Chain A
Amino acid sequence: MAKAIPLTKPARPRFLKARAGWPEMLPTLAWLVALIVVPLVYILRMSFSADPFALTATGWSLANYADSIPFYWDNLLNSVLIGLSATILAFAIAMPVAYGISFYGGRWKAVLLFAFFAPFLTSYLIRIVAWQTLLGANGPLFGPLQQIAGLEVRVLGTPFAVVAGLTYQLVPFVLLPLHAAFNRIDRTLCAAADDLYSGRCGGRGAAIGAVGGLAIGLLLAAVFFDRGGIFATWPIAFVLAAAGLGAAVGGTMTERFALIVFPLSRNGFIAAAVLSFIPALGDYVNAALLGDIRTQMLGNVIQAKFLVELDYAGAAALSATLLVAAMLLLTLLLRLIRGTELLDVV
């Protein structure tokens, strides 16, 4: 098994020293400025507009923020908590999958990777309809339960259903950057680790896993169960189970993954986290179709204000809040991956 490890670094990509080619790029850059930069700047401008129901920005005022953010605080909290839960669960699903495809996929690599993207070749809305069907009280999962055992399980209309639907949509956003990062790892390092008797993480891994599981369990319990009611019996069992699962995963995780693969694919993890959490923050269709009035996210308020109430300025203030949060995350991404080209991480 042991192969010699090449001591030279892989060659950096070469670039031509030639003219930049601005004339060819000009139409595209103009397009991007007109349809991305201008609208986003205009949202910021509109959020300070003095007349809430005018269709164009007029005057200056802070009232839109002062009126809307305290009023829609619960929706903002939903966006962050539900978005974060779905992102974490998408990692829990996509991380082992990306690792498995990259390291154990063999000749099935391309087919397996495609299999995880194939479900997204239908239609966003039809996928959510399918989740409505699956989770419905009369659906294929819970319908028989009700008919046979007389148990009525209400999942549709709960935060759990929203998180499940959103997690499903986020899997590819996590899978792709992670798979790309894992693929770039020099396999001879793993062979070297095996030669040096790398094993499982054991006690230390279990301890770290338990703490992580506990934190994630607390977050999910806060989202799934009644807010503030974390300390009823059910949620306690849930949190303890999450901590136990974390300890089991941490303890049995190979040192190969924890000490080689994970640190070397750091940029992939950062990109995956940002690229999945940002769409999760802004999503509203899952909350509208799988949740109830108490799971409505900031996106639901924004789309209602823009498309139904025509309160452009108020909607712009909430959009600007989301936009600033997204741009802060993007800046954080840029800082953390410094030294790597931005487009190389996706």
Chain B
Amino acid sequence: MSSSTPVKREGLAVRAMIGFALVFMFAPVLTMIVFSFNDPGGRFNYALGSFSLEAWRHPFAVPQLGVAIRNSLVVAAVSALLAGLLGTPVGFALGRRKFLGRGAVSGLTFIPLATPEVVLGAGMLILFVATATIPLLKTLTGGLFYPLGFPSVIAAHTTLGLSFVIINVRSRVIGAGVTLEQAARDLGASGFTVFRTIWLPIILPGILSGALLTFAISLDDFVLTNFTAGGTTMFPTWLYGLMRRELPPQIAVVGTLIFLVSIGLVALAAKLLGRRTG
């Protein structure tokens, strides 16, 4: 039928665009991988020199690189755990019930996504400073957040991750399980039984994907870390300082490792959680 021709042509054009876009998306990744095997011959790994496995043989030969990665991994893990724990009840409530103030809670969840990170980071920085300079806040927080360090970065990253956990859990819950819950309640199931046998299997993938996303965002993030880490050696801020003096190929190696491990984690999670739609 001749009427299907424009659609067929569209299919071809769209596939070509996807191919072109994939090249754009993976060009930097490929550059990173290629440059991890590079011996630049100078202090900056920006131009191809000769092939070398040196950086892969000694990936942590740059002073403080190991510490920076370890600190960033710890912060990412703790933030993911905290965001998972804190985000679940809100995502669950937003998906399951209509209640007064639901819009306000949704709005509160959305604000971090609709605020420039530099503003959020700056706001958190002056808040953390205020917890040391305003006596009432100082006694309330016990000086935990200033001087800046692990607690302040973790608080910042958890806040960013919370929205993603809430959105993921909510989208799992919405429209699902309500009739099952009503049936179970009619048959006399207690609130706890309903939660354990009906809701937990529904929301668990949402919690895990939200927490995983928080982990990835925390590891990826530069702006909030820059504002809230203070003197703590975190990978992105440490690298930012290092780049002024040198850029060893080990950075590309570590980037490649993070990339491969993250892809492995996501693939594992997808396998564990089974096929998800949406």
Contact = CB atoms under 8 A, between A and B. Distances in A.
Same complex for A and B? Answer yes
Interface of A: 13-21, 24-25, 27-29, 31-33, 35-40, 42-43, 46, 55-56, 93-94, 96-97, 99-101, 103-104, 110, 112, 114-116, 118-127, 129-134, 136, 138-140, 143, 168, 171, 180, 183, 194-195, 197-200, 252, 254-257, 274-275, 278-279, 281-285, 289, 299, 302-303, 306-307, 312, 315-316, 319, 322-323, 326-327, 329-330, 333, 341-343, 346
B122 A33 contact: no
B60 interface: no
Contact of A200 (B6, B29, B127, B220): B6
Contacts of A121: 216, 220, 258-259, 262-263, 266
Given A96-B14, A100-B18, A16 B96 contact: yes
A302 B123 CA distance: 11
Contacts of A329: 114
Interface string B182-207: 10000000000000000000000000
23 contacts: A17-B98, A19-B99, A29-B105, A29-B108, A31-B162, A32-B159, A36-B108, A36-B115, A55-B129, A99-B14, A118-B29, A123-B219, A129-B32, A131-B28, A194-B3, A194-B7, A198-B3, A252-B9, A254-B6, A278-B116, A285-B222, A306-B122, A326-B119
Contacts of A284: 118, 223
Contacts of B27: 130, 134
Nearest to B175: A13
A19 B222 CA distance: 40
Chain B, interface size category, equals 35 or more
B122 A43 contact: yes
A112 B35 CA distance: 26
A25 B93 contact: yes
A24 B216 CA distance: 26
A342 B247 CA distance: 43
Nearest to B275: A110
Contacts of B32: 122, 126, 129-130
Nearest to A100: B14
A133 B46 contact: yes
Given A14-B175, A56-B130, A279 B117 contact: yes
B122 A315 contact: yes
Given A134-B27, A140-B31, A322-B119, A257 B222 contact: no
Nearest to A23: B89
B115 A326 contact: yes
Given A32-B162, A168-B28, A40 B119 contact: yes
B47 A28 contact: no
A257 B11 CA distance: 12
A168 B24 CA distance: 8
Contacts of B93: 20-21, 24-25
A38 B134 CA distance: 14
B200 to A, nearest CB: 14
A151 B113 CA distance: 43
Interface string B93-132: 1101111111101111111111111111011111101100
A198 B117 CA distance: 44
Contacts of A319: 118-119, 122-123
A15 B96 contact: yes
A153 to B, nearest CB: 14
Contact of A123 (B31, B94, B112, B236): B236
Nearest to A255: B6
Given A15-B98, A55-B133, A138-B46, A97 B6 contact: no
